[in-house]
Structure 1
Amino acid sequence: MSFVTPDQPRRAADARGAGARPPGRAGPPRRVPLPRAGQPRRSHAPLAVAALVAAGGAALTSWLPVAVVLWLFQVSEGAASLPGAARAGAAGWLLGHGVPLATATGPLGLAPLAVTALAGWRLIRAGVHASRAIGVRGTRSPGRTLAVATAVGVSYGLLGALVAVLVGAGGPGVSPVRAGLTLAVVGALAAGAGAARTTRVAEVVTAGAPMPLREGARAGLVAALVLLGAGAAVAGLAVATGGGDAADLIGAYRTGVAGQAGITLVSLAYAPNVTVWSASYLLGPGFALGTDTVVRTSEVSVGALPALPLVAGLPSGPVDGLESAVVLAVPVLVGMVTGWLHARPLLRSTPAERGPLPWRRLLAPAALAGPVAGVLLGVAAQASGGPLGGGRLAEVGPSGWQVALATTMVIGGGALLGAAATRWLTRLAR
């Protein structure tokens, strides 16, 4: 027999109301509160640390392939040395950023654009990684984007100056100040592009730009890429046609399999340079392979050339007749196709009841395509050239301003003609 006092039921109810479990009864599982939206779940890295790690990773991954290629040369000569390959790779890495080297035969400033493209891509990824590490992803903050770009650029410049000091201690001469400033600028620009994409500042800037400007920039970029593709096709065809001469040039080195593989890889590193030169050849200005030399459709004047496989594809003389007309028509056709690609979707999206699309709306972006493509190819042409020592090889590559001017005129005129022809044909079809 049990006795219950009058206040016991009330105490039990109060205990259950307070969250206590009654005896002999299992309660619900305990809930753990989740973090609120926007609340950081982990601490972020300091900007200086994130920028230094990202810049160091970009430098390491773009230097390593160059060091491996140059190590192959040392293996073929029986003098393989890891410190020597590392120092030579560092010199080639600096050269890929446009930092000239002082050698016994004169200045060496012809940058392998394949190394330049690899370093640029890794720097863009460095801007992405640094932005994520400090927690500014999707913030749309121009200030934070600029801070990331500056921090990565400064870190990359310091690494470049340090590498220049190490290279100059036992190899070709190089200015640490110039190396540091050059790599800082390159690093800041490339990392800024990656950071702007990560923070979505690029979307804000693009959305705020006028529609004709965006369409013209897009058309100019497409035209520049198609021109480079045409240049690569022509250069590849020329090298393939002279494949026997290229094989003889490689075999003339007599450096064994490893050395010949190294020569081939060096040639591939300069393949983007040859692509730009070929595009300049199609556009008309051509390029130089030494002082007082020129290679263009109307004139070929060259002297003694270095024994490299890429020179096997050089034209033997000027082109004339039908061949000349076909070569010169390629850039014009690229411009016309660019204008057609721009005008066709605009004309299709305009309802017939609204009347014809205004000429200004149609032709303004087409006119902008020429200057945009001209700037892009002009910069590429300027970056693709440089000295290969002193003497007559002190001038190699195309003229940047001539390529920019020719591209602006040819692509701009072709795009206007293609857009106008597309509008006329569309009206006839309706």
Structure 2
Amino acid sequence: MTTAMAASCSLVCCGEENDSDKAVIVRFTNGIINNADKLDFSMYKNTDDRNPRKSSRRIVVAETERLSYVGNNFRTGSMKCNNLCKYYVGVLNKQTMQMEVHSAQLFNMQPVIPGEETVTATAQDMTQTYRDKVDSLIEAFGTNKQKRALSSRRLNQVGSDTLHQAVAKAATSVIEQKGLEVLQQELAESQEDLALHLPPCNAGADEPEDVYPFDDLLSPVEFEALEEAGSKMAALTSEELLKMREEGGCLSVLKFLGNLPSASEARDKTVRCAFYLSMLLNLAHQRSINRKFGQEEGCPRIVQNKLLRTFTVESFKNGRVQNMVSSSMRVKLAAFSLALLLHMGHMTADLTLLHRDLGITEARMIDIAKSMGLTLSRHARGKGDDAGQSEENRQAFLVVPLVKQDKFVETRKRKKMR
């Protein structure tokens, strides 16, 4: 019978479906339902269609004569496997003898016992009533000191409620502007170690070039895609470079474009890296990034996708998902730009020019360089240098073995007792 059924049936894939068209598979936590046919199922969907994160929320309700069951796909009791796997269920159409394959969603049904919430509410009402009774007794029979304390407590409570309302209003405004997920991510990133945003490091490498491998900064496929953009960089004349400098161009990039190597292979690598470095520095000054970033400069699509994927975070704002450059991503951009400059400058980088191009403080730039294990020094610029001034530029060198930086611990002197 199974062979005959298999021979007479055929599978039909229904393709991608909407969330409302998905099949529902339920699992009861308190046991097995004997009479499943007598269950009355209902499904409710979120009405906020403008929010893509809320539009997929569903609540399934199953009612019997004795008990009700509720399951959802967005709260703590929901099944996390829906986000990790895709489930499909086959439905046999007995008329056409075709097995239709539909996408499915799993729900964990939990019983709802009436009266659980009312007990908590009653206890809270009793506590509040007891406080009111005590306050009434103080107002009627309390001493002047007790009455002043009661009046002060009520005034503080009013001020606290007003403060809480103002804070709640401000928090709601910030959440609507930036999105809850981005705020949580920024809080987690602020508590993370700086080393988590550094490029991949091989601290035990014998050669300085292998400590921060070039392929981890720019893969061979991405480097090959920058051929046309690098050629445009190499074709810039001295007048065009001077115009870029006057218009506030990136000094770290102009430094290399003004002194390109004579060898063709080294020259080609320098101009490609210079273009990629200019994209990193421009991205550090952005706040909200759209999908057209870098198109006017001729950035290849594969490099553009790498920048958005590696150095931005997704945020929900005004009903759509946007790519944002958070504070931790700016630290990551600074670290990767510094590693790229080391490969361009024979394991030497100018931190003064870089922190100005990035728009961060010199102290922050030094912290990043120290976290990367670099050796720091100051180098006096001569007359032929970029700024033409006598001030000193701070340089970073990559020397193996890397410098191990100890955390600074502030010590205070005790005051002498007289």
Q: TM-score, normalised by structure 2?
A: 0.22
Relative contact order, higher structure (CA 8 A, sep 6+): 1
Q: Between Structure 1 and Structure 2, which shows a larger proportion of helix residues? A: 1
Q: Between Structure 1 and Structure 2, which shows a larger proportion of strand residues? A: 2
